[in-house]
Amino acid sequence: MNAPASPSSLERAEKLQGMGCKRKRVEDVRFTQGRGNYVDDIKLPGMLHGDFHRSSHAHARILKIDTSKAKAVPGVLAVLTAEDLKGVNLAWMPTLAGDVQMVLADGKVLFQNQEIAFVVATDRYAAADGADMVEVEYEDLPVVVDPFKAMDADAPVLREDIKDKKDGAHGPRKHPNHIFNWQVGDKDLTDAAFFKAEVATKDLLVYQRVHPCPLETCQCLVSFDKIKGEITIYGTFQAPHVIRTVVALISGLPEHKIHVISPDIGGGFGNKVGAYPGYICSAVASIVTGLPVKWVEDRIENLSTTSFARDYHMTTEIAATRDGRVTGLRVHIMADHGAFDACADPSKWPAGFSNIVTGSYDFPVAHLSVDGVYTNKAPGGVAYRCSFRVTEVAYAIERAMDIMAQKLGMDPVEFRMKNFIKREQFPYQSALGWEYDSGDYHTAMQKALDATGYAELREEQKAKQEAFRRGETRQLMGVGVAFFTEIVGAGPSKNCDILGIAMFDSAEIRIHPTGRVLGRMGSKSQGQGHETTWAQIIATEIGIPADDIAIEEGNTDTAPYGLGTYGSRSTPVAGAAIAMAARKIKAKAQMIAAFMLEVHEGDLEWDVDRFRVKGNPEQFKTMSQLAWAAYNKVPPGMEPGLEAVSYYDPPNMTYPFGAYICVMDIDVDTGVHKVRRFYALDDCGTRINPMIIEGQVHGGLTEGYGIAMGQEIFYDADGNVKGASFMDYFLPTAVETPHWETDYTVTPSPHHPIGAKGVGESPNVGSVPCFANAVNDAFKFLGSTHIAMPHDAYRVWQVAENLGLHA
């Protein structure tokens, strides 16, 4: 029972720097002094370097690999090929999606830049020279880069290794290049709704292939100790425990002799969840040479081979009444997975949580069908700041709602408001199987409209459209709206697992005798600030200042088992575990306090940092005093010490949501755009550190801006990969990046111990359709209904050209 607030308690609460305050980050102390500890900063005695020779062909048989010249390069100690890996049964490795993937090319190559040989040398310069000297003879095979052609009767068979397998990890396959079909929803009821629909729209909405592109590429340093029979793996791993278990399963080394350490990571964004050939080859090389082996990929390797994101082709249909009520949603997705299905999804979800495609809207019926196919492209895909496929389907539903609004002649906001799930409908059962925990969409939308002066913007737009028609301006104004609901916090054990391990997360909290705290969690920050925010949760829960709480993540020997950080799951799952562990400690401390104060537990009330006797506030014990007492003055029968572990299995996912509005001006003669204004309102439930939330939103909006307005990894008809270097991959600088306005509402999650939902990925989910809707909105009055991303100047100009605006 909590005591009422008082001036002294408010002062003490502020000193705690607990939940809700803009606590300055602990991590910054070392990062601003160049004392971060990233993988490539780590040196071990005798360390070797590995580098790949990669395929220049997209689809070819390998006739010959000649490593003799490479081996002759001074400094080169070994060159591994698939033949070498076969000896230790590691030429292929399992993926997180139930497929298998070549570690090194085995008889053929399936995508350009695929790994063929791993050169190990005394330094990275010699390794690079060696990689250049490997010679490969290829026999070209026909290439498949269009996912819609992958299942043609005459399509070349890509995966000869499984060509006779009629069943994949997710059910029957209808073609050698087919991976899975996944369906959810009521097909008959949905088809019926469309059959009798007054108005219907159908559009192919494509979310192009992109890449998470963290500033630090994927890398590892592996050291096998022959004498102890132990392996230590430093790596850029968002989920270090998962990596440890994967290594145990594929190498046969016992899990307690595998030490995985994620040190500081320079951004993850989903790129660093799964295992890559570089990790496996480094491990084998270390075992073979008996020396530590480091592998650091360069940027082109990163953008073209360590997975990819999106490449979802979504045929999206909405059925509605003439007066604007949606009556059905029907979606088919063609999912291009590249050469191997290395998707980093929970195992029962081959298309991630794409069944959140109903979004923020009350669809009475819906049906979703997803077909995954193989093509000659890099394998994957990963969840680029998107919680599993949520970005893709949020784009689809938000574009489709805009298209339907246009067809109905309704304002896109009016159409959305008419179809929002209402506050009183929560918890809401969606037509595709999710129970949304909480939401208040109308309030958030109205707040956004008021903050941006939406009605005035539409008036201004109308005036500018008329001016354009009169030839007085060559600028078009677009107002983009997106109202997203996303699903994060994977996830409940009843439906979420990675390789069979449930997706709980964990916290271990120990209070030392002098009242300082050590917390270790199963999550792994790559910039999200857990060292700062996890301490804030603990500080508020147990009344010890955050500055007296050290947080550790990433060392699998010491951290309790966790499924890592991605999919905005850390606050919903690890954050909950932290609160639960802290409450166990608090409960024990209450018993000690009662014992020391000679009262019953029920006679005590909690006051910020102490238990005090109800009605007798001078009788109190601070948590600090109780910590000391825990080591020498516990009640009879109680163990000494003050620590707790919690493994938290969330009862549900969480559903952050937001209202984003973008005002954009487009120069039709060049296709160049300018973002005049971007307003982002996010509801992530309880807000732990508003400063960090704002930073996460800024970062996610900037990533979304890059995706919508120019990012693309694509392949030409011969399978040559394009856009895979910073010469072309659109990463906005400080000059292009718009100014972001952030705002919020708070609708706590009813099932989460502190009501928090997670926020890291919301801005990427919501911003991409918001920018896309702004561009589309600018051209609507000229008859355009859908313009595909990315909206780079050339493509926007082409739209204007096709509309005859340059005559």
Partner 1 sequence: MSKSNVSMKVNGKAVSAEVESRVLLIHYLRENLGVTGPHIGCETTHCGACTVDLDGKSVKSCTIFAVQAEGAEVLTIEGMAAADGKLHVLQEAFREMHGLQCGYCTPGMIVRAHRLLQENPAPTDAEIRMGISGNLCRCTGYQNIVKAIQYAAAKINGVEYKEAAE
Partner 2 sequence: MITGAFDYHRPANLSEAIGLLSRLDSDARVIAGGHSLIPMMKLRLAMPSHLVDLAAIAELKGVRAEGDEIVIGAMTTQHEILGSELLAARAPILKEVATQIADPQVRYLGTIGGNVANGDPGNDMPGVMMALDASYVLRGPDGERRVAARDYYEGAYTTAASPGEILTAIRIEAPPAGHGWAYEKLKRKVGDYATAAAAVILTVSGGKIATCAIGLTNVADTALFAKDAAQVVIGTVADKVSLAKASAAAEAITSPAADGRGSAQYRTKMAGVMTARALSRAFARAKS
Binding test (CB under 8 A) with partner 1, winner from 485, 526, 571, 762:
526
Q: Does 727 bind partner 1 (CB under 8 A)?
A: yes
Q: Which residue's CB is nearer to partner 2, number 552 or number 736?
A: 736
Q: Which residue's CB is nearer to partner 2, number 129 or number 553?
A: 129
Strand order in the sheet with 230-235: 76-80, 115-121, 48-54, 293-296, 219-225, 230-235, 258-261
Binding test (CB under 8 A) with partner 1, winner from 324, 412, 527, 748:
527
State the nearest-atom distance from the C-beta of 716 to partner 2, in Å: 11
Q: Which residue's CB is nearer to partner 1, number 371 or number 703?
A: 703
Q: Which residue's CB is nearer to partner 2, number 237 or number 729?
A: 729
Q: Which residue's CB is nearer to partner 1, number 125 or number 148?
A: 125
Name which of 627, 661, 613, 669 is nearest 777 in CA terms. 661
Binding test (CB under 8 A) with partner 1, winner from 153, 717, 735, 807:
735
238 is catalytic: yes
496 is catalytic: no
Task: State how far the Cα of 747 lies from the Cα of 745, in Å rounded to an integer.
Answer: 7
Task: State how far the Cα of 7 lies from the Cα of 317, in Å rounded to an integer.
Answer: 58
148 binds, among partner 2, partner 1, none (CB under 5 to 8 A by kind): none
797 binds, among partner 2, partner 1, none (CB under 5 to 8 A by kind): partner 2
Q: Does 40 bind partner 1 (CB under 8 A)?
A: yes
Task: State how far the Cα of 458 lies from the Cα of 471, in Å rounded to an integer.
Answer: 20
State the nearest-atom distance from the C-beta of 728 to partner 1, in Å: 10
792 binds, among partner 1, partner 2, none (CB under 5 to 8 A by kind): partner 2
Nearest 5°: phi and psi at 758? Answer: 95, 145
Beta strand pairing call for 616-622 and 230-235:
unpaired
Q: Does 674 bind partner 1 (CB under 8 A)?
A: no
386 is catalytic: yes
Instruction: Kindly compute the dihedral angle of the four CA atoms of residues 549, 550, 555, 556, in this order, to the nearest 10 degrees.
Output: -10
- Give the SS3 label for residue 478: strand
Q: Does 553 bind partner 1 (CB under 8 A)?
A: no
Which regions of 270-310 does DSSP assign to beta strands (E)?
A: 293-296
Q: Which residue's CB is nearer to partner 2, number 48 or number 193?
A: 48
Provide the mask over 203-242, with x wherever binding to partner 1 is found by CB under 8 A and - wherever it is not. ----------xxxxx-------------------------
Name which of 236, 272, 481, 486 is nearest 386 in CA terms. 486
Q: Does 510 bind partner 1 (CB under 8 A)?
A: no
What six digits make up the tokens of 721? 């990969």
Nearest 5°: phi and psi at 583? Answer: -70, -30
Task: State how far the Cα of 181 lies from the Cα of 351, in Å rounded to an integer.
Answer: 9
352 binds, among partner 2, partner 1, none (CB under 5 to 8 A by kind): none
Residues 6+ apart with CB under 8 A from 145: 58, 375, 376, 377, 715, 716, 717, 719
**What is the contact surface with partner 2 in residues (CB under 8 A)?**
124-125, 128-129, 132, 298, 669-672, 710, 722-723, 727-728, 730, 732-733, 735-736, 792-794, 797-798, 806
Q: Which residue's CB is nearer to partner 2, number 234 or number 797?
A: 797
Q: Among residues 216, 244, 761, 770, which one is catalytic?
A: 761
Q: Which stretch binds partner 1 (CB under 8 A): 97-105, 146-154, 309-317, 725-733?
A: 725-733
Binding test (CB under 8 A) with partner 1, winner from 731, 788, 793, 805:
731
Task: State how far the Cα of 338 lies from the Cα of 159, in Å rounded to an integer.
Answer: 11
Q: Does 695 bind partner 1 (CB under 8 A)?
A: yes
Binding test (CB under 8 A) with partner 1, winner from 3, 9, 15, 38:
38
Q: Among residues 330, 385, 389, 416, which one is catalytic?
A: 385
27 binds, among partner 1, partner 2, none (CB under 5 to 8 A by kind): partner 1
526 binds, among partner 2, partner 1, none (CB under 5 to 8 A by kind): partner 1
218 is catalytic: no
7 binds, among partner 1, partner 2, none (CB under 5 to 8 A by kind): none
Task: State how far the Cα of 727 lies from the Cα of 678, in Å rounded to an integer.
Answer: 27
Q: Does 672 bind partner 1 (CB under 8 A)?
A: no
Angle at Cα 439 formed by Cα 438 and Cα 442, nearest 5°? Answer: 160
Helical ranges in 564-715 per DSSP H: 575-597, 623-630, 690-709
Q: Among residues 281, 386, 496, 684, which one is catalytic?
A: 386
Angle at Cα 464 formed by Cα 399 and Cα 453, nearest 5°? Answer: 65
Kindly tell me the burial class for residue 332, based on how many C-beta atoms sit within 10 Å of its own C-beta (0-12, 13-18, 19 or more): middle
Task: State how far the Cα of 191 lies from the Cα of 679, in Å rounded to an integer.
Answer: 37
528 binds, among partner 2, partner 1, none (CB under 5 to 8 A by kind): partner 1
Helices (H) and strands (E) in the chain, counts: 19, 36
Taking the alpha carbons of 463, 467, 468, 472 in that order, is the dihedral positive or negative? negative
- How many chain residues touch partner 1 (CB under 8 A)? 57
- Give the SS3 label for residue 121: strand
670 binds, among partner 2, partner 1, none (CB under 5 to 8 A by kind): partner 2
Q: Among residues 112, 238, 526, 711, which one is catalytic?
A: 238
Q: Which of residues 249-308 bind partner 1 (CB under 8 A)?
A: 264-267, 269, 296, 298-300
Residues 6+ apart with CB under 8 A from 587: none
State the nearest-atom distance from the C-beta of 580 to partner 1, in Å: 27
Q: Residue 636, preceding bond cis, omega within 30 degrees? A: no
Binding test (CB under 8 A) with partner 1, winner from 726, 746, 798, 801:
726
Task: State how far the Cα of 60 lies from the Cα of 224, in Å rounded to an integer.
Answer: 34
Binding test (CB under 8 A) with partner 1, winner from 739, 783, 804, 807:
739
Q: Which residue's CB is nearer to partner 2, number 128 or number 248?
A: 128
Distance of CA 24 to the CA centre of its chain: 25
Q: Could you identify the residue written with the tokens 């629909």?
A: 197
398 binds, among partner 1, partner 2, none (CB under 5 to 8 A by kind): none
Q: What is the DSSP string of 60-101?
A: EEEEEEE-HHHHTSTTEEEEE-HHHHHTTT-SEEE-TTS-EE
Q: Does 2 bind partner 1 (CB under 8 A)?
A: no
Active-site annotation, residues? 238, 385-386, 761
**Interacting residues toward partner 1 by CB under 8 A:** 24-25, 27-36, 38, 40-41, 43, 123-125, 213-217, 264-267, 269, 296, 298-300, 526-529, 691-692, 694-696, 698-699, 701-703, 725-727, 731, 733-735, 737, 739-740
